[in-house]
Amino acid sequence: MKSGSFDGIANKFDRNIYGTTKGQMRHQLLCFYLSDLLNGAPMTVLDAGAGTGMMAQAFAQQGHHLHLVDVSEEALSIARERLNGHPHTQFTLGGIDSISGKYDLVVCHAVLEWLEHPLQALDALLAHVKVDGQMSVSFFNQQAMLFNNAIYGNFDYIEKGMKVRNVVRLNPHNPQSPASVLEHLAKRDDISIELSAGIRCFHDYMRDPSMQSNRFDELLALEKQYGAQTPYKWLGKYFYIRVRKLN
């Protein structure tokens, strides 16, 4: 996960994500799709690429045992402050190769799009899921990125493969195709795909951006109603997958 380190910009990243309706919507929808586990019996949870600890905090508040792993010391420092006082939390500075043991749930949210070899990372993380345990994955949607640029008329950018010469550190540099990730997972005979859904299928395409805040609750309800349905889920700015480990 080293390529996704946010050292030097972790505070800015945290503000840019969770201080906006984009980040708030994404977090609430992830909690919605994980609500049965969040509110269930205490589990051991590995948050791989935990960042500043927002998702880990949601699990810690429900009494789960957390292990946060990230390559950014600055991000983990913010996570430590955010989870201060919550028992049963462990922090590790490092990448996938620093993880050992197996967990009831492995969380990997908004990480794949920062990695050079995301599908290999998925396979490595699945090795840390207990039998009958689950893995929760979300990632920046390549198709939604293209669609969003098309409706804004960024045709030259699309023609160049949506690559820029000067990469902005806060912009994911390796968005993934949901179909490709699902196809990769479907080839494995040791897991079953329990759920797939889009995150922010409508929010980012609002013609009147003021509605993102002024009508947030109604928009959230719409996302919850249609986010796991075709065709809407394929346009989510992030794509969400939950899998169960069979053996």
pLDDT of residue 85: 86
The torsion of the CA quartet 160, 234, 45, 84, rounded to 10 degrees, works out to: 70
Encode pLDDT of 149-205 as tens digits.
999 999 999 999 888 655 555 678 899 999 999 999 999 999 999 999 999 999 999
C-alpha closest to that of 156 among 167, 144, 164: 164
pLDDT of residue 163: 80
Q: What count of other Cβ atoms lies within 10 Å of the Cβ of residue 194?
A: 12
**2-245 is a CATH 3.40.710.10 domain:** no
pTM: 0.92
What is the pLDDT tens value at each position of the chain, 247 positions in all?
444 566 666 677 677 777 899 999 999 999 999 999 999 999 999 999 999 999 999 999 999 999 999 999 999 999 999 999 899 999 999 999 999 999 999 999 999 999 999 999 999 999 999 999 999 999 999 999 999 999 999 999 999 988 865 555 567 889 999 999 999 999 999 999 999 999 999 999 999 999 999 999 999 999 999 999 999 999 999 999 999 999 9
C-alpha closest to that of 93 among 83, 107, 81, 79: 79
- How far is residue 106's CA from residue 210's CA, in Å, rounded to a whole number? 36
| Residue 133 backbone zone (phi > 0: left; psi -120 to 50: alpha; other: beta) | beta
Q: Which residue has the tokens 């040791």?
A: 190
